[in-house]
Chain A
Amino acid sequence: MGNFFSYIVQGTAITVAVTLVALPFGLILGLLMALVHTYGGKILNRGAAAYSLLLRGVPPIVLLFILYFILSGRFINLSPFWAGSFSLGIVSSAYQMEILRGALLSVGGGQMTAARAIGMSRVQSIRYIVLPQALRLAIPPWSNEVSIVLKDSSLVYALGVPEILRRAQQLSATTQDPFLAYGTAALIYFVLVFATNRALDYLSERTKLPTHP
């Protein structure tokens, strides 16, 4: 029984790895799209809006199957782990884009005007004035997205990546004890989400600017 427990716990490393690929990938993509949506011209703005609308309208598992079963092998060759992680990252990028867009907009427009008035270029103003404030403001809503990606990472089991949920399924079948197997899985997810949220709360508190309540 002790071994069984450790078999599920080993899945935690895979769950964390999937999250560590999907989340930063989604953050970079989401940040780019948020900047394009906020500061890009009319056409780019529309494109970014369409990107967000489309991806938020598709269930993650559908995108996962499309990327792995349909696209992968024909155009690019992805292992289940990478196909799953990238799909989750792409879906997450749309949500992260909306979070970051909200944060960018909440930094008053006057600051941009002031930065330009003292001779900063547009890019400089974004880089040194708007973005540092916006990223701080984005932490609390972003921590919500972190827990969603962490829990959605269980979807990669459909491609055969042996993360926590898949291992719990196997143990439930072998031991005929679903309560123990799924209970263990639930507990691990809870601990992971709880720990990351507390860490982000701390980060948010530490990086808070005196000008923001």
Chain B
Amino acid sequence: MKRILVVVTLLVAASLVLSACGGGAAANHLEAIKEAGVIKVGTSADYPPFESVDESGNKVGFDIDLMTEIAKRLDVKLEWVDMPFDSLIAAVQEGKIDASISAFNYNEDRDKMIDFSEAYYTSEDAFTVADGFTGTIVNPEDVAAYKVGVQTGTTQDGWLTDTLVADGTLPEENLFRYDRVDQAMLDLQNGRIEVMMSDYIPAQALAKQLGGLEIVYHGVLSSGPMNIVIPDGDAELQQAIDEIIKQLQAEGFIDGLAVKYFAE
């Protein structure tokens, strides 16, 4: 038994040496991050176009670019910690990471355990038609009467499938799934589909770029505002991140990212 005790003691000692120990006592979490010069941010890099990995294993996407800019303005280095989505909130709660950005939607139950930043992006959905469209779309459900295009696997695809196709108003054969939004918009121009459902900001960009297209409806249907997750009660970090998000929104940085990532 004595030997076991010795082994356990050695292992504990070894693990203490092996792992990096936290810094000194800073006034608050934000100060501690600035003192360390690095912010550890968790993400689940399997949700393109928000966060994914490219051919070389680098993290890319809307959230990745946004957080990179936020870290730059906080004047700290950014360290990504990739985790499955389910582990992220627990990791923030337990202080394993400083914050998490992973296309989180605000949710009351989650808000009890952690805090949310200001919404950095509200993904509105849009219905786009070609000039000369003779139908009428007042309510989102009205699109069921037409040939509808959507990008495969997006939240819009989910909304169309779960509401209109599920209740039988939109026949499955009238739902056309595309790999890319820009291809679908070209088909819309050519009359192969009558309505295209996509994210609002990229729809605006493409309508302007391609011409002959008009957005007839936009609103929040398939998802909602997205927020960065920060530890519960961490007012200083929340305030710092909120301020930067407001700046980036005012500068059009976030709209630019939306065009970059959701338009193709």
Contacts from A to B (Cβ < 8 Å) = 1, 3-4, 7, 10, 28-29, 32, 36, 40, 44, 65, 68-70, 73, 76-80, 82, 86, 157-160, 162, 166-167, 169-174, 176
Interface size class of B (residues with CB under 8 A): 35 or more
On chain B, the residues within 8 Å of A40 by CB distance are 1
Q: Is the CB of A160 within 8 A of B87?
A: yes
Q: Is the CB of B90 within 8 A of A77?
A: no
Identify which of A36, A77, A166 contacts B82 (C-beta below 8 A). Answer: A166
Q: Is the CB of A3 within 8 A of B55?
A: yes
Query: Chain A interface secondary structure, helix, strand, loop or mixed?
Result: helix
On chain A, the residues within 8 Å of B4 by CB distance are 32, 36
Q: Is the CB of B153 within 8 A of A77?
A: no
Q: B57 contacts the other chain (Cβ, under 8 Å)?
A: yes
On chain A, the residues within 8 Å of B94 by CB distance are 69-70, 73
Nearest to B46 among chain A residues (CB) is A173
Q: Is the CB of B83 within 8 A of A169?
A: no
Binary per-residue interface labels of chain B (72-88) against chain A in the complex, 1 for a CB within 8 Å, 0 otherwise = 00000000011110110
Interface centre among B3, B83, B91 (most CB of A within 10 A): B83
Q: Complex formed: what's the CA distance from A162 to B84 in Å?
A: 10
Nearest to A33 among chain B residues (CB) is B4
Q: B129 contacts the other chain (Cβ, under 8 Å)?
A: no
On chain A, the residues within 8 Å of B48 by CB distance are 173-174
Q: Complex formed: what's the CA distance from A68 to B95 in Å?
A: 11
| Closest chain A CB from B189 CB (angstroms) | 25
Q: B12 contacts the other chain (Cβ, under 8 Å)?
A: yes
On chain A, the residues within 8 Å of B18 by CB distance are 78-79, 82
Q: B96 contacts the other chain (Cβ, under 8 Å)?
A: yes
